[in-house]
Amino acid sequence: WIRIFMIQRVRDKMDKIKGDTFVDAYLIGSIKSLNIRVDQRDKKSLNIIQKHIGIELPSVQKAIERNSLTLCWVSNDEYLLLSEKKENERLLSEFQKQMNLTTGLAEDTTDLRSWFLIRGDRVQDVLRKGVPIDLSKLDLSEKNFLRTRLGEIQINILFKSLDEILVSVLRSHTDYMIEWFEVCTNCGTEINFDL
């Protein structure tokens, strides 16, 4: 039936519920993130992004990944740069310094958010229960990034593939998100939390 497992987090192992589980969710904590503001007419800022990050600015609701860095569109002048690898910290620090010498801005937002990894055949079904967006209209052959609401809170959603999604919430909403997943499972979705 419906079960939620709270387990000690083990980095090298992601425990999966046995049986007919379609979705697993893991609380992965923080992901290094920089919030970037840039005027697209400012060639100096754009050159710094290209030189340090090596990624062109993504289009509306898209994300581009390269060299373990993901640049996500938030608005016409705001982007979110994510790094899941510790090796990128020096690069990001230098990028932040250079960007802040221009009319652009790069602000470290790592400590503001908690991230969840959701995997499985029915990842979209889990989100459909709480987001006001028709997810079937997204082209999931590409990476998509959305800032929307889930229940009563603002969330970020990064569609990494058809069966893998990263969701972030403000740290103060981490417990709300876990509770929301628990309620969501009462409607038929099994979720495994790796805390």
Tally Cβ neighbours within 10 Å of residue 15: 15
Q: What number is the average pLDDT over the span 115-124?
A: 83
Q: What number is the average pLDDT over the span 12-29?
A: 53
Q: Any bridge partners for residue 166, and if so which?
A: 117, 158
- Asked if the model's pLDDT at residue 15 lies above 50, the reply is no
How does pLDDT run across 37-50, given as a tens digit for each residue? Answer: 998 888 898 999 98
The two structure tokens encoding residue 98: 């250079």
- Helix intervals (H) in 69-121: 89-99
Return the pLDDT at 34.
Answer: 95
* Own/partner pairs, 43-49, CB within 8 angstroms, 24+ separation: 44/102, 44/103, 45/99, 45/102, 45/103, 45/104, 48/95, 48/98, 48/99, 48/102, 48/104, 49/95, 49/99
Return the pLDDT at 139.
Answer: 78
37 within 8 A of 105, measured Cβ to Cβ: yes
Nearest Cα to Cα of residue 162 among 123, 133, 126: 123
- Asked if the model's pLDDT at residue 195 lies above 50, the reply is no
How does pLDDT run across 125-178, given as a tens digit for each residue? Answer: 778 878 888 877 777 777 889 999 987 899 999 998 888 889 999 999 988 888
Return the pLDDT at 189.
Answer: 46
Query: What is the strand order of the sheet 23-29 is part of?
Result: 23-29, 113-120, 164-170, 153-161, 144-150
Return the pLDDT at 7.
Answer: 29
Q: What number is the average pLDDT over the span 85-106?
A: 90
